[in-house]
Amino acid sequence: MSRESIIEAVKTPLGFFVLVVLVLETGLLGSMAATKSDLHDDTLYIFCGILVLLILSVLFLSLRQPKNQNVDSLGHSLGTEIYYSFDPYISNLSDNERDEAYQTLLAQMKAPTDIQNKEIRAKIAEVISERAGVICPPEAEE
């Protein structure tokens, strides 16, 4: 296995955790083979302490979650659900009224009031605009 494939496999905190544990296990086995048998307990305690620190650090990284994680897939599925929930209620309107209703919905999705969720809202608006065949309005100024 090449270094590139190993690095490619480590894309998540959990993948990194697994790689580090495997490296530590190898180091532990090597150090236990190289030390006297009366030091094996100390080596095992050190390994367990490092393992606990790794678990806590992966937990910390997992709770922080990068902003762009699954924005496309989540935004696409939410946009599809919103479209299929909204469209039947306005299907009896004239084309102009239907377009206006979608423009209002899309303007709300692109509104700058929710800065924290801006990316997911933009993806949802993009999907709704595409499915409804309506041009998405530009983002409002903050």
Give the pLDDT confidence of 94-140 residue by residue, as tens digits.
989 988 888 888 887 777 666 667 777 888 888 888 888 887 766 64
Give the pLDDT confidence of 14-64 residue by residue, as tens digits.
677 777 777 877 887 787 778 777 777 777 788 778 778 877 877 777 677
Measured CA to CA, the distance from residue 55 to residue 53 in angstroms comes to 5
Supply the pLDDT for residue 140. Answer: 47
Residue 70: phi and psi, rounded to 5, are 60, 25
Residue 107: name the closest of 81, 80, 136, 131 by CA. 136
Give residue limits of the domains in the chain.
Answer: 3-64, 71-132
85 pLDDT more than 80: yes
